[in-house]
Amino acid sequence: MNKQNWPRILVRLPVETKRFLELETQKNASSLNSEIVRCIRHRMEELGRSTHSVQGKG
């Protein structure tokens, strides 16, 4: 599945969370979407869940 076909969601964020993500985008020269995905994947790793074990669910 190419990126254009990936599911899209609308997320409401607290102002301080959005500010944090914006600072991370500047620091890492990345997009807001990339930082959100990076944060989620980091949390998944902390919980011992791989991205492969949950694909196709949801």
| 32: nearest Cα among 42, 44, 43, 20 | 20
Tell me whether residue 38 is in a domain. yes
Tell me whether residue 9 is in a domain. no
Q: What pTM, to 2 d.p., does this model score? A: 0.71
Tell me whether residue 3 is in a domain. no
Instruction: Count up the domains in the chain and report the number.
Output: 1
Domain that holds residue 22: 14-54
| Coil, helix or strand at residue 54 | helix
Would you say 21 and 36 are in contact if contact means Cβ atoms under 8 Å apart?
A: yes
Per-residue tens of pLDDT for the chain, all 58 residues: 677 888 999 999 999 999 999 999 999 999 999 999 999 999 999 999 876 655 555 4
Identify the pLDDT of residue 27: 96
Tell me whether residue 41 is in a domain. yes
Identify the pLDDT of residue 53: 59
Tell me whether residue 4 is in a domain. no
Identify the pLDDT of residue 54: 55
Separation CA 27–CA 12 (nearest Å) = 23
Would you say 33 and 44 are in contact if contact means Cβ atoms under 8 Å apart?
A: no
Helix ranges restricted to H, 1-58: 15-28, 32-46, 51-54
Identify the pLDDT of residue 33: 94
Identify the pLDDT of residue 1: 66
Tell me whether residue 33 is in a domain. yes
